[in-house]
Chain A
């Protein structure tokens, strides 16, 4: 079984191929605010260099937020179109979950702007804090309360340094824990913020 993995929910553009539960190839690089220009091209490149045709893909795995407003829509739109056109299942994953450090205690953070963060915490593969938007003052308190947790994310905005994880590897592990959605057309990006 061959799966295509897509993530463009933050500063990176990542595409990967999983065959028999193993990552067979991936492309991943910083591409903030430009993923819309490159993602389709990178999928083609990845398929071509692995001598695969679009029709051979058995399912698509995608991160659906919370994260960049446009970013989460890019990968999800591509995933939905592929799911519809090829009639294959779609597996949605939380952006924060795919950034955790598996088998460790970790807090995943991303800039939600206006002095807020997207945050989630994981303790050895178990979820400790659900995906949410948190004021940065609260975030700092939470970090003090959890000193042994490893931090993940581009944390320059908090003047902190976060670890970078292999998102594709994580997606390949976490996809085994989720079921495909019943109706891929109804999957919505998870933005978590209030509307203006």
Chain B
């Protein structure tokens, strides 16, 4: 299943992510694709809010992985950008298949670790504050996470 939607502001993207975040449970995996400034971190901020995480969400481009343990569930935020052409053998599978929700930015660089079903989200900058979000669900399980929201 593939669905599109348009958001008109950062706040609207956060609200959308909050609604999806409220349906996520332990073991769920999301990937986020899109250029720099598309709004990937904004989306993660929304999911974090739905989990009642108080820490500020920042992109872990340098750290590769940032864990948030202060919410209803652990949130694992992975940014695989720096793993392009690098050793990927750093134990990320314990977070992707971990005790919480995993969100992976730049999933193309760790394809080997994403052979499990996940909700693939693409964000496109359509100019100004307009963003096009595409959701690709591989099965009924993930289709239910977005059905009725978009």
Contacts and interface: CB of A to CB of B under 8 A. Distances in A.
Given A33-B67, A34-B69, A196 B89 contact: yes
A33 B99 contact: yes
Interface in B51-94: 67, 69, 74, 87-91, 93-94
Interface of B, helix, strand, loop or mixed by DSSP = loop
A113 B62 CA distance: 25
A33 B74 contact: yes
B115 interface: yes
A134 B87 CA distance: 23
B91 A114 contact: no
Given A33-B98, A33-B99, A34-B69, A195 B93 contact: no
Which has the most chain A C-beta neighbours within 10 Å: B87, B94, B112?
B94
Interface in B95-139: 95-99, 112-113, 115-116
A111 B116 CA distance: 15
Given A33-B94, A69-B91, A114-B93, A196 B99 contact: no
Contacts, number: 34
Contacts of B69: 33-34
A32 B74 CA distance: 11
Q: Which 4 A-B pairs have the closest CB atoms?
A: A69-B91, A196-B88, A113-B93, A195-B89
Given A33-B69, A113-B97, 15 more contacts: A32-B99, A33-B74, A33-B94, A33-B98, A69-B91, A69-B94, A70-B91, A70-B94, A113-B93, A113-B96, A114-B115, A193-B89, A195-B87, A196-B88, A196-B89
